[in-house]
């Protein structure tokens, strides 16, 4: 009999009871799409300066092991390899998102499942099952805490990745219910990270995924060794929901973790734009406007409370970005880039990083951004919980106004990216890292690969 409280037991039971055969077809398809997007980003982002810095530091202090870093092929412990790979995958604001938890599960669960799978000699069936288990625990805890984590200044991914990685390891190691519960409980002690980077900058944000993922792996290792955690780690008076979200969650929330619920991994959000996902609905809206940018008099953008903390008025560099982190979290500048037709994708942000895109105060992008006013709209919080939406009103110099409302930006489950567009993103991100033949081989393995293939053999396809 479990010693854990109902919600905590339900979260652990989701992990222990999940089998590959119990994963619905749409959830398995979501897991494969997640693998395709995330693995491309891990390899494609490995050469970024902060990615290389993390790899250098880890090389100097890593524990030996049989898991591998993507691209470079460095062999090290699963915890260290997952730390580096998760950092790569979350390294350029282009990785998947989950609307209802305001977080980015893919870089955590994919990196943990592959690294630990290599270490344990698991096959790809085991890896996919662990990915789903980790994703579901991560997102279902996160959904119950949304939007309070963001509103209070926390980075949801930094907090939730510990739970996701712990669930992945518990599944791969075949922990029983009690040990799985303790793995998740100990993961709470690793939860950390705020969104101050949206205002003050700092490439440490890129590393939050690695920090949380390694913490979750270590939490599961400790549980496997007999270390225990509090049995009320989610719902207790000093548990996750009260300490981080500032509110109480009752026993009725146990139902959110049932395997009969819709699998969240079937509702992944794959990004077409290389910036914070809260910007995406506004970017879609800007692309639909019919007026010319040089005729704009003013722009009014209605925003939700949590969104304002991250990309709006509470982001002190939103109107004057000076570094790449500022730009990727600036609503006025992302809106202006879109309306001016400059693009919001991988190449645009790479150009800015390389000093090839002028966004100084005399640029046309800055001039248009200065015409943007951001208005906090609590009514949008109430009407659209768990979804980042955009309300846009543009007034032109001739007095004409244009109003647009965007609920489901491109890439969300409600407005999914086509497989053709996802394939195009895959090839674009990997174009400088892998040859066309290597990219095709990797894509075939992800989409249609043998489930009995050892994870270690699959991982060889990720080396440059």
- 35, 344, 79, 328: which is closest to 205 by C-alpha? 328
- 168, 53, 157, 163: which is closest to 111 by C-alpha? 168
How many Å apart are CA 145 and CA 142, to the nearest integer?
5
Range of the domain at 369: 277-406
Residue 306: is its pLDDT beyond 90? Answer: yes
Convert the pLDDT of each residue in 78-107 to its tens digit: 999 999 999 999 999 999 999 999 999 999
Where do we find the tokens 């944000």? 205
Query: What's 252's DSSP letter?
Result: G
Residues 85 and 199 occupy one common structural domain = yes
| Average pLDDT for 270-292 | 97
Residues 227 and 283 occupy one common structural domain = no
β-bridge partners, 250:
none
Residues 169 and 234 occupy one common structural domain = yes
The answer to the question of residue 413 being in a domain is no
How many Å apart are CA 32 and CA 113, to the nearest integer?
13
Query: What's 262's DSSP letter?
Result: P
Percentages helix, strand, coil for the chain, rounded to the nearest 5?
55, 10, 35
The answer to the question of residue 309 being in a domain is yes
Convert the pLDDT of each residue in 105-121 to its tens digit: 999 999 999 999 999 99
Convert the pLDDT of each residue in 25-60 to its tens digit: 999 999 999 999 999 999 999 999 999 999 999 999
Tokens of 162: 């510990």
Measured in whole angstroms, how far is the alpha carbon of residue 100 from the centre of its chain? 12
Contact 440, 430 (CB under 8 A): no
How many CB atoms lie under 10 A from the CB of residue 20? 13
Residues 250 and 344 occupy one common structural domain = no
The answer to the question of residue 202 being in a domain is yes
DSSP string for residues in 313-358 = TTSTTTTS--SHHHHHT-HHHHHHHHHTT---SHHHHHHHHTT-S-
Tokens of 367: 């001039």
Residues 354 and 325 occupy one common structural domain = yes
Instruction: Give the pLDDT band of residue 153 (cuts 50, 70, 90).
Output: very high
State pTM to two decimals.
0.96
DSSP string for residues in 207-247 = HHHHHHHHHHHHHHHHHHTT----TTTTTSTTSHIIIII-S
């Amino acid at each position: 009999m479990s010693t854990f409280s109902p919600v905590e037991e339900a979260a652990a039971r989701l992990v222990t009871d999940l089998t590959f055969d119990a994963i619905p077809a749409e959830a398995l398809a979501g897991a494969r799409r997640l693998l395709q997007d995330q693995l491309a980003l891990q390899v494609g982002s490995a050469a970024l300066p902060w990615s290389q810095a993390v790899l250098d530091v880890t090389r100097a202090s890593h524990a030996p092991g049989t898991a591998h870093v993507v691209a470079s092929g460095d062999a090290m412990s699963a915890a260290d390899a997952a730390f580096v790979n998760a950092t790569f995958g979350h390294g350029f604001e282009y990785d998947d998102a989950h609307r209802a938890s305001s977080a980015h599960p893919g870089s955590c669960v994919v990196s943990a499942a592959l690294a630990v799978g290599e270490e344990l000699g698991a096959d790809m069936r085991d890896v996919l099952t662990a990915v789903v288990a980790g994703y579901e625990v991560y997102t279902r805890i996160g959904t119950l805490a949304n939007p309070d984590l963001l509103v209070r200044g926390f980075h949801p991914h930094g907090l939730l990745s510990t739970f996701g990685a712990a669930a992945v390891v518990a599944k791969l190691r075949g922990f029983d219910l009690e040990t799985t519960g303790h793995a998740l409980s100990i993961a709470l002690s690793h939860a950390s990270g705020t969104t101050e980077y949206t205002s003050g900058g700092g490439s440490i944000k890129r590393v939050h995924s690695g920090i949380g993922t390694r913490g979750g792996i270590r939490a599961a290792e400790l549980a496997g060794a007999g270390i225990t955690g509090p049995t009320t780690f989610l719902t207790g008076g000093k548990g996750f929901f009260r300490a981080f979200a500032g509110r109480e969650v009752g026993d009725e929330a146990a139902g959110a973790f049932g395997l009969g619920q819709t699998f969240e991994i079937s509702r992944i959000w794959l990004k077409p734009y290389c910036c914070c996902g809260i910007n995406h609905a506004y970017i879609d809206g800007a692309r639909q406007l019919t007026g010319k940018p040089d005729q704009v008099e003013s722009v009014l953008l209605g925003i939700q409370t949590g969104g304002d903390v991250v990309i709006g008025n509470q982001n002190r560099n939103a109107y004057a970005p000076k570094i790449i982190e500022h730009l990727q979290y600036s609503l006025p500048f992302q809106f202006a880039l879109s309306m001016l037709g400059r693009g919001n994708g991988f190449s645009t942000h790479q150009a800015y990083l390389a000093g090839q895109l002028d966004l100084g105060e005399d640029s046309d992008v800055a001039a248009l951004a200065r015409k943007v006013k951001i208005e906090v709209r609590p009514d949008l919080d109430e009407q659209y919980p768990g979804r980042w939406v955009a309300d846009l009103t543009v007034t032109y110099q001739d007095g004409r106004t244009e109003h647009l409302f965007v609920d489901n930006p491109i890439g969300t489950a409600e407005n999914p990216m086509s497989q053709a567009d996802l394939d195009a993103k895959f090839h674009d991100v990997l174009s400088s890292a892998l040859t066309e033949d290597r990219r095709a081989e990797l894509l075939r393995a992800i989409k249609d690969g043998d489930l009995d293939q050892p994870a270690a053999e699959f991982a060889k396809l990720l080396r440059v």
